[in-house]
Amino acid sequence: MIEDRSEELAAFCLRHFAEEAVGLQTSSNGHRADLGNEAILSLVRSARNAAKFEGLWDGDITGYSSHSEADQALISLLAFYTQDEGQLDSLYRKSGLCRDKWLKRPDYRRRTIERALSNLTETYAPSDDGARMVGGNGHRHLPSPSPSLYKEEGRGRKIEVVRFSEMKLPGPRRYLVKDLVLAAYVTLLYGDGGVAKSVLALALGVAVSGGSEQLLERKVENCPVLYVDFELDAEEQARRVHQLCRGQGLDKPPDGLLYMSALGHPAKEAFAAALEACKEHGVELMVVDSLGPALQGDAEAARDVIGFFQKGIEPFRAEGIAILIIDHQSRLQAGQSYQSKGALAVCSRLTSPAV
């Protein structure tokens, strides 16, 4: 009896016989494929990062926390030479990284390509010595690039007035968890002690790093996550993570969920190590548990708080990394409420009936 292998045959054909991108063809996202596939491969193989490309092209994911992270790295390299979504898809299918997840998950393909395009800061242009800087991401239907186009405002630049009418229209805000956690920005998760904020943050980390499509009925964008712990030891947090994963039907924690104990270390030293780890592993979300120990100053003093965000947190933002900070709210006094203290509770959303 001959078994039905039609799906496998279709996947094989898509991978090995995908049509070459045609020069001057315009894709659905409005970008032309000015270079053919072979021309792009020739260019990237002669670039300074050729060794990195060759490893990814051959399917080697050494140095990456997951296959998905390697997928993102390859698409991001290719996006420098073409912003045509169809051509990026065609090129990836010819690589050694190509797998069923790419072939059968259009949402995964779209998300990976959109992330690469939204983070572009320069593109290849043969008319001006190979590369040119671009002022925006050029994709009106894609999320705004992270970090912001205006992140360097006020840093040594001349103060000037511009017209809103002359400013480029950014795309929609990019979220790692829709309407809860913004990409490349700071989100504060606060509440009284003992209301499971750390567990909620760990559950969010599992969802974002583990390939979940939704959390609390909200769309999730997947990426590696680093949990920086200033409070507990690795043993207790590992126990919590394994319990959460069992509750979600996972055999083990996701490979993209990373942990760093900062207990007993100066905040400056811990954040320097965390930033290097984020760059090394392609982390796009860092969880800080919690604000008090990480601040190592007076939370009521504006100078200490501003200094913490400028020196400790801003370097991550400049790299396009989102930060979720857990903050232990003091217990309410008579006549007080969280609203009267001027706070916005993300925690209340996470503990809604949708849980």
User: Does residue 27 register a pLDDT over 80?
Assistant: no
Q: Any idea where the domains of the chain sit in the sequence?
A: 6-126, 175-350
Lowest mean pLDDT: which of 117-131, 168-182, 252-266? 117-131
Q: Which residues contact 323 (CB under 8 A, 6 or more apart)?
A: 185, 186, 187, 285, 286, 287, 288, 313, 316, 317
Identify the pLDDT of residue 320.
Answer: 87
User: Does residue 100 register a pLDDT over 60?
Assistant: yes
* Kind and range of the H or E run holding 188: strand 186-191
Confidence band of 245 (pLDDT split at 50, 70, 90): very high
Lowest mean pLDDT: which of 14-23, 204-213, 225-234, 321-330? 14-23
Lowest mean pLDDT: which of 16-25, 150-159, 202-211, 326-335? 16-25
Lowest mean pLDDT: which of 11-15, 17-21, 55-59, 124-128? 17-21
Angle between helices 67-79 and 106-118 (to 10 degrees): 50
Alpha-carbon torsion angle 54, 78, 81, 166, nearest 10: -150
Q: Is the model more confident about 174 or about 136? A: 174
pTM: 0.57
Report the CATH architecture of 175-350.
Answer: 3-Layer(aba) Sandwich (3.40)
Confidence band of 136 (pLDDT split at 50, 70, 90): very low
Identify the pLDDT of residue 143.
Answer: 47
Lowest mean pLDDT: which of 35-39, 156-160, 213-217? 156-160
The burial class, CB within 10 Å (0-12 / 13-18 / 19+), for 189 is buried
Q: What is the mean pLDDT of the chain?
A: 79
> Could you give the percent of the chain with pLDDT greater than 90?
46
Identify the pLDDT of residue 126.
Answer: 65
* Mean pLDDT for the stretch of residues 169-196: 88
Identify the pLDDT of residue 133.
Answer: 40
* pLDDT tens-place string over residues 40-56: 999 999 888 899 999 99
The Cα-based distances of 295 to 105, 123, 266, 328 in angstroms read 42, 39, 10, 12
Give the count of beta carbons closer than 10 Å to the beta carbon of residue 185.
17
Selection from 196, 198, 147 nearest residue 173 by Cα: 147
Selection from 47, 6, 43, 41 nearest residue 21 by Cα: 41
Identify the pLDDT of residue 13.
Answer: 54
Identify the pLDDT of residue 31.
Answer: 56
Lowest mean pLDDT: which of 3-7, 135-139, 199-203, 223-227? 135-139
User: Does residue 138 register a pLDDT over 60?
Assistant: no
